[in-house]
Copies of this chain bind each other. A is one copy, B any other.
Amino acid sequence: MSRPSPYRAVKAHVLARIRSGEWPPGTLVPREEDLAETFGCARMTVHRALRELADEGVVERRRRAGTRVALPTTRTAPVEIPRVDREVEAMGASYRYLRLARATEPASPSAAARLGVPEGTEVLRVECLHHANDSPFQLEERWISLDVVPAAREESFADVAPNVWLLERLPWSDVEHVIGATNATRKVAGHLGIEPGEAVLEVERRTWLERRVITYVRFLHPGRFYRLRTAGRPG
């Protein structure tokens, strides 16, 4: 262990009491001023420790009412949705990208709804496949709003994956994910090298730049092989 800085010491102290069960949910944590005196440090130092614990959902703070240990039921764990190419490489496998289709076309009702544009607006649709060690790992179907990203009209996406291309050019302000499970259609099964009807993990993502949808994308993964993983702590 290294010497913990004072604010870390305060955090650790409070967390240890909570985890040991000594301070069950609802317990009133000592006032900042008292903790500062206990630890022989400034109130700002204690404040930072408690503020971070509050940000992490470990405690709840209200002026006048003080700081209380939060009910663990209100806490949720973050799940990370990784970028496929990096994930493949992290597994020590070789990554390969293959474009299946690219077309500018009038937005279908569902695509228009998801991109937030009028039906029939010209949008770019790209379909591609990501491989790990030459076996299909992710099937991607993507719509890009040409209003927001006009430069995409000139890009073939034959060699560069759309997510890489987009991320290098555009910042984003909001993102939404929807995760579900579905049965592989014959077409999907053919691309992923599985049997029709096999379960596939479906991740849909919409990305915004200041209220306008940049892109809507649907990823399909073979359910037998692919998992989303995460680890988290309450604090």
Contact = CB atoms under 8 A, between A and B. Distances in A.
B175 A226 contact: no
Given A73-B83, A83-B73, A227 B174 contact: no
Interface in A52-83: 71-73, 76-83
A40 interface: no
Number of copies: 2
Nearest to A52: B55
A76 B72 contact: no
Contact of A79 (B78, B86, B170, B199): B78
Contacts of A173: 19, 233-234
A10 to B, nearest CB: 17
Nearest to A83: B73
23 contacts: A18-B171, A19-B171, A19-B209, A19-B210, A20-B171, A71-B167, A73-B83, A73-B164, A73-B167, A78-B79, A79-B80, A175-B231, A176-B230, A176-B231, A177-B230, A177-B231, A179-B228, A180-B226, A180-B228, A181-B200, A181-B223, A182-B223, A183-B223
